[in-house]
């Protein structure tokens, strides 16, 4: 996510084929990624990792990450909330490993 943010900033720089300019623009773009954004990215990854640990697949993990933004881990009632939202629980074959 940090790399994607930096690439967006990098594209705002003028194009160049000179290696020193490319390196300078890359380092500058990486330095411009705000620390607050990096912290938010880490929290988002924690939420997805917890959802995968509970056996959710990608779309289910995305739903859980949106619904439970204030938590790093899923609350005990997340299965009930998924059923109420009409989301079918498939399962991650790697869960519990």
**pLDDT at 52 (0 to 100):** 87
Higher-scoring residue by pLDDT: 95, 40: 40
**pLDDT at 89 (0 to 100):** 64
CB-count burial class (<10 Å; 0-12, 13-18, 19+) for 47: buried
**pLDDT at 37 (0 to 100):** 94
Mean pLDDT of 34-45: 91
Mean pLDDT of 66-84: 76
- Closest by Cα among 60, 63, 65 to 48: 65
**pLDDT at 72 (0 to 100):** 59
Domain segments of the chain: what residues?
A: 1-33, 44-97
Mean pLDDT of 24-35: 94
Residue showing tokens 């943010």: 5
């Amino acid at each position: 996510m940090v790399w994607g943010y930096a690439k967006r900033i990098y594209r705002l720089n003028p194009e160049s084929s000179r290696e020193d300019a490319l390196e300078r623009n890359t380092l500058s773009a990486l330095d411009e990624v705000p620390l607050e954004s990096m912290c938010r990215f880490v929290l988002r990854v924690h939420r997805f990792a917890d959802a995968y640990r509970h056996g959710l697949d990608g779309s289910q993990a995305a739903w859980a990450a949106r619904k439970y933004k204030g938590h790093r881990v899923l609350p005990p009632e997340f299965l009930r909330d998924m059923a109420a939202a009409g989301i079918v629980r498939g399962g991650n074959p790697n869960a519990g490993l």
